[in-house]
Amino acid sequence: MTTIILQGPNLNSDKANAIVQRTGGSLTKHTHHYKISRANNISAEQLAALRKIADFDINRLPKDFDPSQVKLLITDMDSTFISIECIDEIADFADLKPQVAAITESAMRGEIGFEASLSKRVALLTDLDTNALQKVYDERLTLNPGADLMLAALRDKGIKIALVSGGFTFFTNRLKERCQLDYTHANVLEEHNGKLTGKVVGNIVGGGAKEIFLRKICNELDIELNQAIAMGDGANDLMMMKSAGLSIAYHAKPTVQAQADITFNYCGLEGVLGMLDCE
């Protein structure tokens, strides 16, 4: 049996029926998505053709993915769980946002190494007042659409929630408390006398560290990697995404979308509910 999930704010019953006429199978309407069940597989080429004519997300669940066995969702923070790139917004208070944002974009596309790019960006913040971090959190940081629905559904199903970031603990710690997250991991910005030193404390949390964090949580929970969903938008998320049972590219860079099981380009974080077969 092949399962195809249709989601997005532009989706309606007419559009869903138009897709099922092309794919065959049975169509079921859920609160936040439509599900098509068909006996035969759908090829990557067929899926790509359907996506070209749709203004909503169309995804095929991997045959070996079992929603009922999911015990962990691990997600990137910047531009995935939240709507901003925190370091770019911090840099805005130093009048350096364009320079820092350009490096961030290049790193997320995988054009330059994440660890080197982060060191370069953090160095540009030397001597910036640390109160800029609180201003970013208070004035600019918002959860991406659908976050509350996703979190509620995960809690209802007893699925643990982890936030991992190449960003900073200043933000992940606050989000852990605010959103009642189970695990967080990020970089620590070094500061002295109320100013940033332009360095991070200890090893940088990059792609490899994210994947290690995923494995650490799975070991702690005594679950298999295939019982985890990993979601991200940048090249530094790919290692953990490839190790998880299901990978979701959230409004992601092309290189990430090309390697993910699932792509969200229209729906918000509530799209996760469709992957979990929620009503």
233 & 177 share domain: yes
| Cβ proximity of 234 and 108 under 8 Å | yes
Please give the average per-residue pLDDT across 244-264, as a whole number.
97
Domain extent for 36 = 1-60
Q: What is the pLDDT of residues 176-200, one digit of tens each?
A: 999 999 999 999 999 999 999 999 9
72 lies in the same domain as 139: yes
70 and 276 Cβ atoms separated by less than 8 Å: yes
Identified catalytic residue from 14, 64, 76, 277: 76
Domain boundary among 60, 82, 100: 60
Out of 14, 55, 78, 92, the active site residue is: 78
pLDDT tens digit string along 52-98? 999 999 999 999 999 999 999 999 999 999 999 999 999 999 999 99
Query: Where is the domain boundary, 60, 88, 105?
Result: 60
pTM: 0.95
Cβ contact 5:61 at 8 Å: yes
Clarify whether residues 181 and 135 are in a common domain: yes
User: Looking at residue 130, which CATH number applies to its domain?
Assistant: 3.40.50.1000
Q: How confident is the model at residue 1 (pLDDT cuts 50, 70, 90)?
A: confident
123 and 225 housed in the same domain: yes
The reply to whether 76 belongs to the active site is yes
